[in-house]
């Protein structure tokens, strides 16, 4: 797995390859959604509300609770699960497909020294992120995007160095089969 570590605010300006990676991911994600759900490509657009940025409500944090924001609090150190799909068994809920091209640490203090991901039965290699400690709000951008299909398990693991708050955001987009499932009284939360 190839990746680059950079500052989150400078991804678009300093890494033009990011646009190509996002475009490829969007094409793959919308192609899969069109095939599986039978929605027209015109309907699956940002303007129609069937495609959005990645919402935290599709994931559970390290405490096992559904995320309403990307904020978490680490209460212990060592190797642990950082984030999973919110469905039973750590799966992405039905009617949602998520495409990720990276993740961002939205705090200056980084409490994790390495990460690894598992998507279904595919284990991705460990990434040592100690280099990221010198950046302000670092991001890890993958050379290729990954699709978290509906009802597919997702787990993000990390080695936590210290206790305390941490904001970790998945970078990418998601396709929503039923856009009204996103409309709730809790801003940013999905009804699943």
Dihedrals phi, psi of 111, to nearest 5 degrees: -100, 5
Q: Which domain holds residue 127?
A: 3-179
Q: How far apart are CA 169 and CA 161, in angstroms?
A: 19
Tell me the whole-structure pTM to 2 decimals.
0.89
Extract the residue ranges of the chain whose pLDDT is less than 50.
183-185, 190-192
Structural domains of the chain, count: 1
Residue 185 domain flag: no
> Which pLDDT value is given to residue 46?
59
> Which pLDDT value is given to residue 129?
93
> Which pLDDT value is given to residue 31?
92
> Which pLDDT value is given to residue 89?
93
Residue 134 domain flag: yes
Residue 189 domain flag: no
Burial 145-176 (b: 16+ CB within 10 A, else e): bbbbbbebbbbbbbbbbeeeebebbbbbbbbb
> Which pLDDT value is given to residue 184?
44
> Which pLDDT value is given to residue 36?
94
**CB neighbour list of residue 192: distance below 8 Å, 6 or more residues apart:** 57, 58, 86, 87, 93, 94, 95, 96, 181
Residue 64 domain flag: yes
Residue 191 domain flag: no
The number of beta carbons lying within 10 Å of the beta carbon of residue 190 is: 21
């Amino acid at each position: 797995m190839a990746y680059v570590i950079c500052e989150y605010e400078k991804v678009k300006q300093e890494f033009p390859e990011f646009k190509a990676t996002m475009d490829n991911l969007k094409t793959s994600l919308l192609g899969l959604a069109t095939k599986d759900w039978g929605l027209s490509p015109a309907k699956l657009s940002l303007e129609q509300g069937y495609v959005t940025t990645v919402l935290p409500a599709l994931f559970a944090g390290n405490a096992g609770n559904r995320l309403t924001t990307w904020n978490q609090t680490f209460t212990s150190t060592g190797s642990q699960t950082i984030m999973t799909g919110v469905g039973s068994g750590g799966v992405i809920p039905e009617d949602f497909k998520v495409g990720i091209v990276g993740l961002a640490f939205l705090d200056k203090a980084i409490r994790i020294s390495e990460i690894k991901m598992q998507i279904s039965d595919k284990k991705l290699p460990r990434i040592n992120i100690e280099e990221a400690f010198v950046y302000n709000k670092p991001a890890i951008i993958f050379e290729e995007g990954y699709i978290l299909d509906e009802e597919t398990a997702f787990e993000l693991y990390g080695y936590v160095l210290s206790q305390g708050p941490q904001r970790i955001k998945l970078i990418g987009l998601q396709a929503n089969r039923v856009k009204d499932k996103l409309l709730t009284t809790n801003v940013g939360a999905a009804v699943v």
